[in-house]
Structure 1
């Protein structure tokens, strides 16, 4: 790069849009909301099914199906029969033909079949519900790949900024930064579904509500959503240049690489989870020990990967990608660590504990990009300097390490005395004993 190009690049970097809230922020908001919606639509059945199979009903016109009681687990799992099928293919389709229409189509399909669940359940039994859930799973298989494609097009770029996206993705295992809508959607959906099921509207209203919201989202997306900044008819030239920061279109054709860490994450989780269960079932380790082993893998391996990034040169792109894929992939081991430990220690309050944990995780994801700005301000390094990212990676790796050590020193696998209210006055040591 000659001096003229460097000067032009510097000028493009410095020139920011006058408005703080731009077209790109609208796109981010839509992508956050679609993840909230997708996870909400996916998880309302977890609560609604309790009312569906209950003999009692808050109103005479609300149907219940107690004969489905022994089919609950089959119904709940059926979503994933469809969900697992198309994600890799969906990523390539979205990359080649543009994710905007595929995302809209996916949301429209799973929203329509949310509305159809009560109807098909009434006419075709639990098989009708299973059919709806399979189709919803197939449709939602397009959501994450499409969102990742869209984020890769709308995220701020240049070398340092691209690393910033990757860093933020490492902050929170599954719901990375803009994907924080996923846990929040679950936290909102479950109490909403429970409330509606307890009213005269009954459990069907939860499916109607989320189906209606999904259709409304599709309308908004058609009006203001876009595959990339170039195709948006309302974006200003200043904001367009600010997003690109002087990069070429070819530099941004990397959606497959964006999805690669998540593919690795999924593959690693398929290996880790059965091993963790095997160790406990065969009594090779206690529950507590198993949770600590896999939580340590899920935190210490990414920490080591982040520390190693400090030693990698800024021109070694392939090695950087490999290390980031390892970091994100092995982070999935925490799903067999702290992520299920809520159920181990307090099954009665597991939902509340998970809600608290996800809320804390979401706050961390919000703070992460602000922390990068703070480090930049304090250190004096700009976002295009690798020295800044060495500090960021070091801080993140240190947090992973410290949190992992705390979990290993303090975690338990036994049901805690506060799990049941009567345990407050119960002096029996049976629920207090720690495993070896």
Structure 2
């Protein structure tokens, strides 16, 4: 870890905005809370929260949508023209096979994979406000139409879910475009963590509220409520959100000066060109991408496969226990937010160097989850649940490690690179369940192999980043002033 720091020490003075900021202190730092930059982080947090509830809503509602309890003796009951409606709630119930359900749930994932990287590219050049706002608005409208589409037929529902995936991929990528212009280097990790943690809080709210809404007034209310909230929030979004602090009418002059002055050393002006060849040759970038793949391989198993294991090994239905399902999400939200604050505190007080902070949080966010995961098959049910929660919680510390690293090495292309990392995570999430299914179909020890493989892959990503991770702005990401004719 330290060898890489020494190899780049000769150019650290001019290439690390965070450390340059801490050394020079050329301007007075204005208050953090009740500031416009933290208000922007909260706005982005709420946007992520709303989009995530719309994403996850079908995962909750589909349990009630295919529930055939009591249907055999109510076969000739028809409610409001819906096919196979239940007599007690008056909402439709559909005869979808497990394969169809799986395709419906994954449709949004395939859609987001298509637009994540292009969305990050265009948001980096054009700004994120309009892309994020319009994608959220259309996605919210489509959420309102899901009950009607399900009634008309599976084809309509598939189309809506795929289009929602396309929009959500654009939305997440567009939100990444705000940080190079709004986040001062010494507050970058915390602001980004506040915004990104909205995804975790969105899942938390969807799980807790979804069960109650399915019972009364019925599963369609999930889509109406989340879609309606999204439409209303779009009005707030377009009124209060701006792509940069310079044009924001409500920001104070002192805060505007603080943000713009702290970012003067960074090259983050928009550009249509992308130095693909230089990017491909950069090991610091590959360290981030490999880390994303390896971490999400473990996380996808923690959130999908391991609950099934707890049901099989300990006769504990983890998925249907709303509290147990939501607990890792709220602890992860706390860990992500607190980790960002601690990381920036260590930087602002000059306790640790930037590269050390990034690698420290990467180590904490990948080593201990691997350790907890590999121990799960050898402990009792209570300890297994504790290890599962600890693994999910500590993994979010990576958001203060390698996952925010694109803002360090290439602030000019941060939106594109962050989106590229997300795309690699999605690919990992698509492959991981297939490999997991293969192992558990072999023999009784298949689950242990899943644990060992997931932990080993996660550790591989950690080691790769510790060796090749950097924080210096790369040569291809610097902006050189040239004369144009």
Aligned partner of 2:112 among 67, 83, 103: 83
Aligned partner of 1:193 among 204, 210, 215: 210
Contact 1:79 1:137 in 2 (8 A): yes
Q: Does 1:121 align with 2:150?
A: yes
Aligned partner of 1:52 among 65, 75, 95: 65
- Change in 2 beyond 3 A, CA 1:60/1:234: same
- Change in 2 beyond 3 A, CA 1:250/1:416: closer
Instruction: Tell me the CA shift for residue 395 of structure 1.
Output: 3.8
Contact 2:178 2:243 in 1 (8 A): yes
Q: What root-mean-square deviation, in Å, do the aligned CA atoms of Structure 1 and Structure 2 show?
A: 4.2
Contact 2:181 2:263 in 1 (8 A): no
Contact 1:113 1:136 in 2 (8 A): yes
Q: Matches of 1:18 and 1:417 in 2, distance apart?
A: 44
Contact 1:54 1:64 in 2 (8 A): no
Match of 2:318, SS? Answer: helix
Within-5 A mapping of 1:267-306 = none
Instruction: Tell me the CA shift for residue 367 of structure 1.
Output: 1.5
Aligned partner of 1:179 among 180, 183, 196: 196
Q: Does 1:331 align with 2:295?
A: yes
Q: Does 1:144 align with 2:115?
A: no
Q: Matches of 1:61 and 1:408 in 2, distance apart?
A: 41
- Change in 2 beyond 3 A, CA 1:135/1:12: same
Instruction: Tell me the CA shift for residue 14 of structure 1.
Output: 4.4
Contact 2:86 2:93 in 1 (8 A): no
Instruction: Tell me the CA shift for residue 362 of structure 1.
Output: 1.8
Within-5 A mapping of 1:4-15 = 13-15=26-28
Q: Matches of 1:82 and 1:361 in 2, distance apart?
A: 26
Instruction: Tell me the CA shift for residue 358 of structure 1.
Output: 2.5
Q: Matches of 1:230 and 1:247 in 2, distance apart?
A: 12
- Change in 2 beyond 3 A, CA 1:60/1:255: farther
Task: State the match for 2:310 in structure 1.
Answer: 345
Aligned partner of 1:100 among 125, 129, 148: 129
Q: Matches of 1:323 and 1:119 in 2, distance apart?
A: 45
**Structure 1 gap segments, 5+ residues each:** 170-175, 265-317, 420-430
Instruction: Tell me the CA shift for residue 41 of structure 1.
Output: 0.5
Instruction: Tell me the CA shift for residue 197 of structure 1.
Output: 1.6
Task: State the match for 2:253 in structure 1.
Answer: 237
Contact 1:90 1:142 in 2 (8 A): yes
Q: Matches of 2:375 and 2:271 in 1, distance apart?
A: 40
Q: Does 1:63 align with 2:91?
A: yes
Q: Does 1:38 align with 2:38?
A: no
- Change in 2 beyond 3 A, CA 1:196/1:18: closer
Contact 1:86 1:138 in 2 (8 A): yes
Query: What's the TM-score once normalised by structure 1's chain length?
Result: 0.67
Task: State the match for 1:203 in structure 2.
Answer: 219
Contact 2:245 2:251 in 1 (8 A): yes
Instruction: Tell me the CA shift for residue 221 of structure 1.
Output: 0.4
Task: State the match for 1:366 in structure 2.
Answer: 337
Within-5 A mapping of 1:335-414 = 335=299, 338-339=302-303, 340-346=305-311, 348-350=317-319, 352-372=323-343, 374-375=345-346, 381=350, 387-389=352-354, 391-393=356-358, 395-400=360-365, 403-404=368-369, 406-407=371-372, 410-412=375-377
Cα shift readout 1:336-358 (whole Å, capped 9, x = no counterpart): 55444333223611465453223
Q: Matches of 1:61 and 1:42 in 2, distance apart?
A: 24
Task: State the match for 1:310 in structure 2.
Answer: none
Match of 2:184, SS? Answer: coil
- Change in 2 beyond 3 A, CA 1:389/1:40: same
Cα shift readout 1:123-146 (whole Å, capped 9, x = no counterpart): x22222222212211111211110
Greater relative CO, 1 or 2 (CA 8 Å, sep 6+): 2
- Change in 2 beyond 3 A, CA 1:328/1:133: closer
Instruction: Tell me the CA shift for residue 228 of structure 1.
Output: 1.4
Match of 2:96, SS? Answer: helix
Task: State the match for 2:139 in structure 1.
Answer: 110
Aligned partner of 1:27 among 40, 55, 63: 40
Q: Matches of 1:434 and 1:186 in 2, distance apart?
A: 26
- Change in 2 beyond 3 A, CA 1:21/1:88: same
**Structure 2 gap segments, 5+ residues each:** 1-12, 71-84, 385-443, 450-485
Query: What's the TM-score once normalised by structure 2's chain length?
Result: 0.61
Q: How many residue pairs get matched?
A: 348
Please identify, of 87-96 and 410-419, the stretch whose mean Cα deviation from structure 2 is larger. Answer: 410-419
